[in-house]
Amino acid sequence: MFNVYSNYHKTEAMRLKKFLIGIYSMSFFVLAASCNKTLQETPYSFLSTANFYKNADEATAAVNGIYNTFWGWGLIKQPYWLIDLDCDHAYGAEWFLGNIGEGNPSAFWGINNIWADHYLIISRANAVLENIENASMDDDLKNRLKGEAYFLRGWSYYDLACIYGGVPLHIKTLASGDQAEMPRATVLETFNQAISDFKMAEQLLFVASDSRSGEKGRVTKGVAQAFLAKAYLTLASGSLKDASISIQGGPDNASYAYQKDVVSGYEGLDSKAYFDSAKAECLKVINSGEYSLFPNYMDLWTVANRNQTEWMWEIQALAGNSNLETNLYYYFNCAPSDRSYVGACWMSDNHYKEYEHNDTRILNGVAHQYIVDYGQPQYTNYILYPQEDTAIYKTDAQGNTYRFDGTYYDRAYSNKFSYVTDPGTSYSDNYFPMLRYADVLLMFAEADNEINGGPTADAYKYLNMVRTRSKASPAPENISQQDFRSFVFAERGREFTFEAKRRYDLLRWGVYLQVMNKLGVMKQGQDALTKVRTSRNLLFPISTDEINTNRSLGGNNPGW
Amino acid sequence: MIIKKGYILFAFILFFLSANFTYAQSRTITGNVKDENGQPLNLVSVTEIGGTKHALTDEKGNYSISVSDGTKFLQFSCVGKKDIVKPIIVGKPINVQMELSESRLNDVVVIGYGTSKRKDLTGSISTLSGDALVQGNPTNILSGMQGKIPGVVVTQSDGTPGGSFNVQVRGANSFLGGTQPLYVIDGIPYVVGNGDATPSTTSGSGEQTTVNPLSFLNPNDIESIDVLKDASATAIYGSRGANGVVIITTKKGKSGEDKVEADFNTGIASPVKEIKVLNAYEYATMENEGVSNANYFEPSPTPRNLPYPGNYQQSATNPDSMVYFKGPKDYIGHSTDWQKMIFRTGITNNYTLSFSGGDSKGNYLISGNYLNQAGVLLSSKFNQYSIRANITRNVKKWLVIGSNTSFASSTNKLVKTNNENLDGGVGVVKAALAYSPTLLLYDSATHDYTAATQVSNPYLYITQVKNQIGIAQIFSANYIEATITKHLKFRQNVGISYFNNQREQYYPRTVYEGQSALGLAYQAQGWYTSITSESLLTYAQTYKKHDFNIVAGATYEDDESRTKSQQASDFVNDVLQDNNMAGGANYTQPITNRTKSNIVSFLGRITDSYDDRYLFTLSFRSDGSSKFTKQNRWSYFPSGAFAWKIINERFMKRLRDKNVLNDAKLRLSYGRTGNQAISSYATFSKLISFPYTFNGSLVNGYADDQYSGPANPNLKWETTDQYDAGLDLSFLNERLSFHGDIYYKRTHDLLQNITIPPSTGYSNELINSGEIANKGLELMLEGVPVKTKNFVWDVSGNISFNRNKILSLGNGLEQQFATRINTNGDQPFIQAVGKPIGALYGYVEDGIYKNEAEVRADPVMAGQGDAIIKRMVGEIKYHDFDHNGVITSADQTYIGDVNPKFTYGLTNNFSYKNFSLNFLIQGSYGNDIINMNSYFLANTGQFNNITQKQYNDRWTFTNWKNAKSPKAEDQYWRSFHFTRRFIEDGSYIRLKSVTLSYNIKLKTNFFRTLRAYVSGVNLITITKYSGYDPDVNGYGDDASRRGVDMGGYPNSKVINIGVQCIF
């Protein structure tokens, strides 16, 4: 059963089989070898840290990304300025201020975002500081970008320390081995981190007029110095012992003298040394000649004057880009041109009465006539404020008649946020004031008064610069240290209403609880807001996400 | 790349090399094999009994086999035919005529990368034939599978035409990875969902409606569906086998005369039910009661006016005139039934025409289908054209090529249903229940939405909003199969999948979304392409009593997808819709995305049957995926199985011969599989654009995406180990058969997106952590109780039990919550160690506060002011578990479980002469459903309408003793904790389908078969569930949130009539 024919085929079959096996095993081998290359993922539609930060454009974009964080729902979109409305001067609709504005921040929808967005600034700044060294670029630019990153991280730690006390200090990224779960540092350690970052920024940044400082709207050397002063002043005023301060308020809007508390965590500090440092930093800014006050108070708020002369640092907005707009206009302005609603926040009657009648900060800075009809023209309301000026405001140029409706519209709406490019939308391009030169002048006056046991000529000079440009009379001469302290404190309240300063001032001077509880439940028109606070209100509750996930944290702030 | 292409090319070249192949011979027997019709039969396996020699018949049915000395018998076997054994007479040809096999044990079961006879299976595999699939005329294959396969739970998201179904094989073993099985169509893996290519529904946040990606397959084109369940069967699919594998085989032309088959059917669908809500009279009464209760319980100096006072009042605009304000009685007979306004009878037309045939050189099947399915909600419609060409050709004696290619083009007009929203964008079903029955269908004088809540008028919404998805899809599975030697075969598969979808949406200014936006338009497009190459060598050899089958192969897959989307608003009017987006004054930047991933795999399997008594299977697969970093790129998935065919033991001979027992087989298996449903680039840190602006100019900004988390280079597969024991029995000449399986699955390294401290600058991180176990029992019984000449009754029943348990969450975590289920932030789904995925957690109610005394007596109310105490009368009392006097999150407990205790299906077929009757009863027992409709309506006395039950149960001054629902009160302070109030028993038993058909005998020979039928779907459902339908699963594939009814598209009853003719 064996023949040549089949033998031939058998041989060929064997050959072919061997060949096939050979080729197959080879192809498997080749495939396996090529696998690792084939299986390497190539990202197409996103950039990754590993291949970023190579040049000036990329490094600049990474720093811009830090600034972007301000536009999160934990900062300028609402929470940052809403926190400040937990103060004695702010008044508003219960539906809007019912949580933070009534001392109940844990009920606020954005409470966790506040914590998270501050740390977003920190982690983005950390990423820049770690990666920027590899970028090949001009040294001046690199230094400036590093300076901006240091400043923004410092600002975040400063703000966290004010809001929460001591917090975990993350100064590197997870990618370079940072611990995800970190315990809280002390308040002082947190401030020291902020101070050290501000100092780095001061060294690396250029003054505003130097072309190397980049586009207007970036932080500059002057901003770093002013915030250094602010951090020092916070520690100085917070740790000051045995001092009193008089503040107008309470149910009868009288002046009450309060013995200030030493702020928890600031005990035992050399208050005077910090006042010295604060004054020195303020002087650096003043002497730099980079900044000056606008001659007319209302010039501050116009669209054209953004980023100019007095403005040291504003959060920049962009009309038409909803990610870079706020609803400040919506919440603070009296009523829009279509009359369809009224704002939800206004200053209290008490606070309105803290100004002289012709002070442009209320003469022009508060709306005295406005019209609202809620979309129903048959029910148009013509409202004037205040009642005592009815004679002045009862008619306007068009002959409309206005009236004071104390049951509902006893409201002093600020005009600060009424200058926008497009007032027709609920989101608009208000810049948010982070720092202006007037703040530096008043910080100087405050520090100088404490250092010298009373006001010097310089303290008066800078205080009165701020007052007189608003047509307010100069401060009374030859007053005591305590009276001057109280006067500057009140002046800060008048100058910076709704600029996220009042609550910080009340807290750092250790008078927040006393002032708020003196007010008690505040009734005005048909609105009532409770200003009653307990000691837990001195610090905000930490994000529940942090509490739930960070086992090293050591718990929440007292009372939360 | 070049190497890759070269490899594919090489696979093709191989055949041509192996062209001149013949075999050596020793003692040669020749002969011819014919089929039962006398036609030559190709590819019949001819083997010597007791030896190792083997041959196949050629296309003329001829064979030639060289047999060893001593061989006395030859065995002839062929798929679908009875085996025949013939004695050898040397020098004489042996001619054989095969007969059709009647034994189901010889049915061919498709297993991964091969086939097997049912009697030789070692794994747990269930098969559904095409005939069984199309019972009840399903419009898609997944609904056809429902209730018919043990261990496979098929649920629909809701009743949307063309909407998605969720298939879960043996329980959930993933939080994030998805629980969809792997679908393999004609040998090529099909990526379901094409998640990366499906543009997100940017509008109407919370919308969960998805389309069924398998709808492109016409159920009439399906030959069989084989579901691989245990790991010995699925491990050959490695990293994608953990959720089971569904192998879909499409029909081929059969040998014999060419035939034309036409199927026409028309279905008439109506909603399964209407939910009873208040009519206008009752509604106005309830609204009045809401205000008077507010005046009573929260008195103010100026009492509020009733909304429906029924009296004359001074006009607001003209103080001199009086205006009549309607009262409840004025609405008697003037009520708008919003459900009626949006429901309709939906007509479905489904036409299939197919041509098929075959001979010894090959076969073909060309089929075309048109489906036009109008849903029971106005405007909703699914429309699809599809065409399929399946061609097989024997090119050479040793070479077969084939192509199974389908194209489908569909348009799905959706209406907004099934979404999480509780504000204006609730969707039409919730809106129809809630919308005031006192309002007219359309009143141009008033706003078209209810201003208080901005719930859009459901009729306007449904008729004016555009929301459609168009899909064009090609799926082509091709192969070349070469017989290299009589033992060795080579097969090269090449699959191409292309998927393109386009989503178009427009919200006019008459509805919530478009109202302030002044018209809102979206378009989103997605493309997905995938190429698969599989090279397989199969070696079959018989050696002594061993029968080996060895498969070795290498596969390569390349997937790429792209999406883009754009949005515009502020249109001058609503005429052009999204068709001219440049007309929108306001637009957002276009968003585009591109992803690509690859998998390279090597696989092998050895099966050995020893003496037809002991079966062994060992398989191995190694997968390399681009989705992981180098360190975790490759994973290995082994499996092993053993089966003992007890039936073939000597001691069973008597039972066997007497046909008492026809099959008895014990199966044991273990295997490991993976779940690679992790998105591409998950191991990368992502920088995304975070622009900023300086002094009025936009500048580029980049930073890490805090939501995608820090880069985790350690990500890897979820791995599942599964153990299975099964028993197959068949009795009484196969009149009765039983299949049972018991299994235990344990999945570790679960993918989880854990929350990490926000102080890291990230909110979450994707990690592998935690373990889940599933254990279960599946039983299937098939029988033919009656079989006479004219009357046959066969019955098949299955029941499945699965128990799921979270063994660990990792990180020392004891519990966590799944993502919220609504815009209020409720998170009823808890994931706790020792509990199943799908356990529900919430508060417990202690009834309704009957009176003020009861409120005052409750410690929880101690210290509350009188005003609060007073208004709490008629409100829900929550149970204070820790007796600390406050209701806090600590007062939550386990309040439900969405997992069924068991699911079941029962199919009966009766045939009498030319009639046949088939019905399927199917159901689920012991599962809970979260009813978000009742949640949305819960706040009695506010703007919204409520259910009749809620109305009857509410607290009133007369019904205060037995009240089960809060009083009607118009207020804004009431809030609800999540309790059993919103969770219901979802058990049901349903007559899923009934079909009565008649074979018409005609004198003419023109028709080979003419069959007319009428069928009903979802005719009877018995359930306690108060929503539209208990077969609802709003989150589809999301295993962590099953059984949620979010105002889903109501399911429908369908009556079909149809004709099937074969020429």
pLDDT in tens, A436-479: 999 999 999 999 999 999 999 999 999 999 999 999 999 999 99
pLDDT of residue B749: 92
**Is pLDDT of B1 > 50?**
no
Q: How far is A432 from chain B (nearest CA, A)?
A: 13
Q: What percent of chain A has pLDDT over 70?
A: 93
pLDDT in tens, B89-110: 777 888 888 876 666 667 788 8
pLDDT in tens, B383-426: 999 999 999 999 988 899 999 999 999 999 988 888 888 777 78
Q: Which of B450, B496, B465, B395 shows the shortest CA–CA distance to B189?
A: B496
Mean pLDDT over each residue of chain B, to the nearest integer: 87
Residues of A in contact with B758 (CB under 8 A): 112, 115-116, 119, 543, 545-546
Which of A275-284, A328-337, A443-452, B982-991 comes out lowest in average pLDDT? A328-337
pLDDT of residue A17: 57
User: What are the φ and ψ backbone dihedral angles of B416, each rounded to 5 degrees?
Assistant: -75, 115
Whole-angstrom distance between the N-terminal and C-terminal Cα of chain B? Answer: 50
Q: How far is A197 from chain B (nearest CA, A)?
A: 18
**Is pLDDT of B22 > 50?**
no
pLDDT of residue B196: 46
Query: How far is CA B921 from each of CA A301, B798, B961, B996, B1020, rounded to the nearest angstrom?
Result: 74, 11, 42, 15, 10
Q: How far is A309 from chain B (nearest CA, A)?
A: 14
C-beta of residue B786 within 8 angstroms of C-beta of residue B736: no
pLDDT of residue A424: 64
B103-131 average pLDDT score:
82
Q: Identity (one letter) of the amino acid at A163?
A: I
User: What are the φ and ψ backbone dihedral angles of A331, each rounded to 5 degrees?
Assistant: -85, -30
**Is pLDDT of A175 > 50?**
yes
Q: How many other CB atoms are found less than 10 A from the CB of residue B447? A: 12
- Which residue is it, tokens 């989503």? B503
> Strand ranges (DSSP E) for B345-445?
346-359, 362-374, 381-396, 399-413
> Strand ranges (DSSP E) for B243-283?
245-250, 256-271
Under an 8 A CB cutoff, do A49 and B685 touch?
yes
The angle at the Cα of B143, spanning B138 to B148, to the nearest 5 degrees, equals 105
Count of A-B CB contacts under 8 Å: 236
Residues of B in contact with A43 (CB under 8 A): 681, 684, 686
Residues of B in contact with A214 (CB under 8 A): 694
Buried b (16+ CB within 10 A) or exposed e, A110-129: bbbbbbbbbbbbbbbbbbbb
Alpha helices in A477-543 (DSSP H): 481-495, 502-508, 512-519
Contacts with B578 (C-beta within 8 Å, 6 or more apart), sequence order: B466, B504, B505, B506, B521, B522, B523, B568
pLDDT of residue A36: 64
Q: Estimate the crossing angle of helix A111-131 against helix A56-68, to 10 degrees.
A: 160
C-beta of residue B404 within 8 angstroms of C-beta of residue B366: no
Mean pLDDT over each residue of chain A, to the nearest integer: 90
Polymer length of chain A: 560
A177-193 average pLDDT score:
94
pLDDT of residue B215: 87
Q: Pull the structure tokens for residue B703.
A: 């930073």
pLDDT of residue B968: 95
pLDDT in tens, B769-802: 999 999 999 999 999 998 888 899 999 999 999 9
Q: What percent of chain B has pLDDT over 90?
A: 48
pLDDT in tens, A523-544: 887 778 889 999 999 999 999 8
Give the chain B residue whose CA is nearest to the CA of A32. Answer: B600
Query: How far is CA B939 from each of CA B509, B848, B976, rounded to the nearest angstrom?
Result: 28, 14, 8
Under an 8 A CB cutoff, do A68 and B692 touch?
yes
pLDDT of residue A393: 94
pLDDT in tens, B595-612: 899 999 999 999 999 988
Under an 8 A CB cutoff, do B694 and A178 touch?
no
A388 in contact with B, Cβ within 8 Å: no
Q: What residues of chain B, 534 to 563, have a C-beta less than 8 Å from chain A?
A: 537, 554, 556
pTM: 0.81
A240-246 average pLDDT score:
94
Q: Estimate the crossing angle of helix B2-17 against helix A4-38, to 10 degrees.
A: 170
Under an 8 A CB cutoff, do A115 and B758 touch?
yes
Categorise residue B323: left if φ over 0, alpha if ψ from -120 to 50, beta otherwise.
beta
A146-173 average pLDDT score:
97
C-beta of residue B310 within 8 angstroms of C-beta of residue B332: no
Q: Give B588's pLDDT tier (boundaries 50, 70, 90).
A: confident
Query: Which of A7, A25, A49 is the best mutation test for B, with the most CBs of B within 10 A?
Result: A49
pLDDT of residue B485: 87
Residues of A in contact with B602 (CB under 8 A): 28, 32
- Rounded to two decimals, the ipTM of the complex is 0.91
pLDDT in tens, B952-989: 999 999 999 999 999 999 888 888 999 999 999 999 99
Q: Pull the structure tokens for residue B10.
A: 């090489």
**Is pLDDT of B808 > 80?**
yes
pLDDT of residue A438: 97
> Ranked by mean pLDDT, which of B297-301, B433-437, B514-518 comes out on top?
B433-437
- The gap from C-alpha B553 to its chain's centroid, in whole angstroms, comes to 30
Q: What residues of chain B, 2 to 41, have a C-beta less than 8 Å from chain A?
A: 3-4, 7, 10, 14, 17-18, 20-28
Under an 8 A CB cutoff, do A38 and B600 touch?
yes
Q: How far is A506 from chain B (nearest CA, A)?
A: 27
> Strand ranges (DSSP E) for B1000-1040?
1009-1023
Handedness of CA A226, A227, A228, A232 (dihedral sign): positive
pLDDT of residue A32: 54
- Which residue is it, tokens 């009368």? B873
B758 in contact with A, Cβ within 8 Å: yes
Give the chain B residue whose CA is nearest to the CA of A15. Answer: B18
User: Between B479 and B209, where is the model more confident?
Assistant: B479
Q: How far apart are CA A447 and CA A232, in angstroms?
A: 10
Q: Pull the structure tokens for residue B185.
A: 């169509």
**Is pLDDT of A520 > 70?**
yes
- The gap from C-alpha B811 to its chain's centroid, in whole angstroms, comes to 32
Q: What residues of chain B, 609 to 628, have a C-beta less than 8 Å from chain A?
A: 624-627
Residues of A in contact with B593 (CB under 8 A): 45
Q: Which residues pair with B394 in a beta bridge?
A: B400
pLDDT of residue B942: 85
pLDDT of residue B23: 38
Q: Pull the structure tokens for residue B554.
A: 């290498």
Give the chain A residue whose CA is nearest to the CA of B602. Answer: A28
Q: How many other CB atoms are found less than 10 A from the CB of residue A32? A: 15
Under an 8 A CB cutoff, do B485 and A122 touch?
no
pLDDT in tens, B708-731: 888 888 888 899 999 999 999 998
Q: How far is A270 from chain B (nearest CA, A)?
A: 31
Q: Give A377's pLDDT tier (boundaries 50, 70, 90).
A: confident
Q: How far is A301 from chain B (nearest CA, A)?
A: 15
Q: What residues of chain B, 675 to 704, have a C-beta less than 8 Å from chain A?
A: 680-681, 683-688, 690-704
pLDDT of residue A20: 59
Query: Which of B760, B762, B765, B811 is the best mutation test for A, with the most CBs of A within 10 A?
Result: B760
Q: Give B20's pLDDT tier (boundaries 50, 70, 90).
A: very low
C-beta of residue B270 within 8 angstroms of C-beta of residue B324: no
Q: What residues of chain B, 94 to 133, have a C-beta less than 8 Å from chain A?
A: none
